[in-house]
């Protein structure tokens, strides 16, 4: 069995940003030498998420609106008594889930025709990390 | 280490449908020969999900109502400017999550007494695929 | 490849309770002897969840409020016709997701600085189980 670990670093220009990461994951799978197995990818922060969906600008804006509706900013969260102002970012991270597993077949991510992987930042403008762990043969 | 890959195809009669898939997953685990490991299962489409919960008709209808409330159809999503009308199906898929990992112990899915695995279709009536990837010893 | 399986049992004092489980998972990783791989952790019940976020009391109360808002109790769910009264617990479990995968590097959970793992109970006061499955080298 092979294992491969890689860390990505993101520093987004905006507080909230959705970043396509499929190409970086494909590169990691190629470097791992794994032909058949699983590619696990996880935000290492509690105000970001990893998700899989369509690369379509309108839909990405819809997802951002939907997250804001179900996990709104501008609320007087208890968490803000610590001096933080990012309570909504924690809830948005929980809603989308901070990690994702992807199948690897014949040395490539085994995704459907429209599946793309995204890093969703909800409290950016500073360095944050993502861990990739690939297991397989 | 063994790896095993299988694809399931679904073409639901209705646009939205929740389909029990535990038996097909148990069969895949048996075919894989894996005694101890993980069974990963993922929709390969961005308008479907995999989830684990109870096989109880009332609860399944409750889940459908709840998904419609938190990710409603009939909204003028930006995604619809592309000619699509399935914006809600993308959001429902994100809410339930498109993939799931299941433990395998002694050659069987190691589920709790009421845990069943479901394929949730939100934009059906056409062929859609699910990938199963089993890793273990 | 090594595999390791362990079951945790929880009986919470309250119906709803959020329990930190990072120390128990770290112990399981140490016992497994796995240096590099994945640690999968899953509730074996359909009214509980596993999630990763911050160990901060205010935020934990915010998460509880948020779950209650998006998946409210006191609703006349169809599931209650079976004699159950825990429809909301099923929806809360779906919202947070019942399972989580964690990376293992150099024999330890490879978590970010504020990432902690929690067992979220939504229908407690009775014995419930969590399964841990660790795979790696």
Q: Which chains touch B (3 or more CB pairs under 8 A)?
A: A, C
Question: B71 CB near a chain C CB, below 8 Å?
Answer: no
Contact by Cβ (8 Å): C35, C104: yes
In a mutational test of the B interface, the residue from A66, A72, A120 whose CB has the highest number of chain B CBs within 10 Å is A66
**Per-residue model confidence as pLDDT tens digits over B125-136:** 999 999 999 999
**Per-residue model confidence as pLDDT tens digits over C25-68:** 999 999 999 999 999 999 999 999 999 999 999 999 999 999 99
Please give the interface size between A and C, counted as residue pairs whose CB atoms are below 8 Å apart.
86
Q: Measure in Å the smallest separation between the Cα of C63 and chain A Cα atoms.
A: 7
Residue B124 has a pLDDT of 97
Q: Of the candidates B62, B70, B103, which has its C-beta nearest C70's C-beta? A: B70
Residue A58 has a pLDDT of 97
Question: C40 CB near a chain A CB, below 8 Å?
Answer: no
User: For all residues of chain B together, what is the average pLDDT?
Assistant: 98
- What would the mean pLDDT of B57-85 be, rounded to a whole number? 97
Contact by Cβ (8 Å): B133, A38: yes
Which residues, other chains included, contact A64 with Cβ-Cβ below 8 Å and sequence gap of 6+?
A16, A18
Contact by Cβ (8 Å): C95, C71: yes
Question: A45 CB near a chain C CB, below 8 Å?
Answer: yes
Query: Is B62 in Cβ contact with C135 (below 8 Å)?
Result: no
Residue B17 has a pLDDT of 98
Taking CA atoms, what residue in B is nearest to A67?
B91
User: For all residues of chain C together, what is the average pLDDT?
Assistant: 98
For β-strands C116-121 and C17-20, DSSP reports them as: antiparallel
**Per-residue model confidence as pLDDT tens digits over B28-49:** 999 999 999 999 999 999 999 9
Residue ranges in chain A modelled with pLDDT below 50: none
- What would the mean pLDDT of B64-89 be, rounded to a whole number? 97
For the full predicted model, state whether its pTM sits above 0.90. yes
Residue B100 has a pLDDT of 98
Query: Is B70 in Cβ contact with C45 (below 8 Å)?
Result: no
For residue A70, the chain B residues in CB contact (below 8 A) are 70
Query: Is C46 in Cβ contact with B54 (below 8 Å)?
Result: yes
Q: How far apart are CA A24 and CA A10, in angstroms?
A: 12
Residue C66 has a pLDDT of 98
Q: Exposed (0-12), middle (13-18) or buried (19+): which is A109, by Cβ within 10 Å?
A: middle
Residue C126 has a pLDDT of 96
In which residue are the tokens 């409210």 written?
Answer: C72
Residue A95 has a pLDDT of 98
Residue B102 has a pLDDT of 98
Query: Is C62 in Cβ contact with A87 (below 8 Å)?
Result: yes
Q: Of the candidates B5, B70, B90, which has its C-beta nearest A59's C-beta? A: B90
| B75-113 core/surface letters (b: 16 or more CB in 10 A; e: else) | eebbbeeeebebbbbbbbbbbbbbbbbbbbbeeebbbbe
Residue A82 has a pLDDT of 95
Q: Which two tokens stand for residue A106?
A: 């014949």
**Per-residue model confidence as pLDDT tens digits over A65-102:** 999 999 999 999 999 999 999 999 999 999 999 999 99
Question: A114 CB near a chain B CB, below 8 Å?
Answer: yes
Residue C107 has a pLDDT of 98
Q: Measure in Å the smallest separation between the Cα of C115 and chain A Cα atoms.
A: 6
Contact by Cβ (8 Å): A98, B27: no
Q: Exposed (0-12), middle (13-18) or buried (19+): which is C106, by Cβ within 10 Å?
A: exposed
Q: How far apart are CA C117 and CA C102, in angstroms?
A: 9
């Amino acid at each position: 069995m092979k294992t491969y670990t890689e860390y990505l670093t993101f520093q987004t220009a905006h507080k909230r940003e959705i970043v396509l990461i499929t190409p970086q994951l494909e590169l990691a799978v190629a470097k791992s030498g794994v032909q058949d197995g699983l590619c696990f990818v996880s935000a290492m922060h509690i105000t970001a998420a990893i998700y899989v969906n369509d690369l379509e600008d309108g839909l990405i804006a819809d997802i951002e609106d939907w997250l804001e509706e179900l996990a709104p900013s501008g609320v007087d969260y208890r968490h803000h008594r610590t001096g933080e102002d990012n309570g909504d970012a924690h809830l948005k991270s929980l809603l989308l889930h901070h990690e994702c597993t992807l199948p690897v077949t014949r040395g490539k991510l085994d995704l459907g025709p429209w599946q793309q992987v995204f890093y969703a930042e909800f409290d950016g403008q500073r360095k944050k990390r993502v861990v990739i762990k690939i297991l397989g043969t």
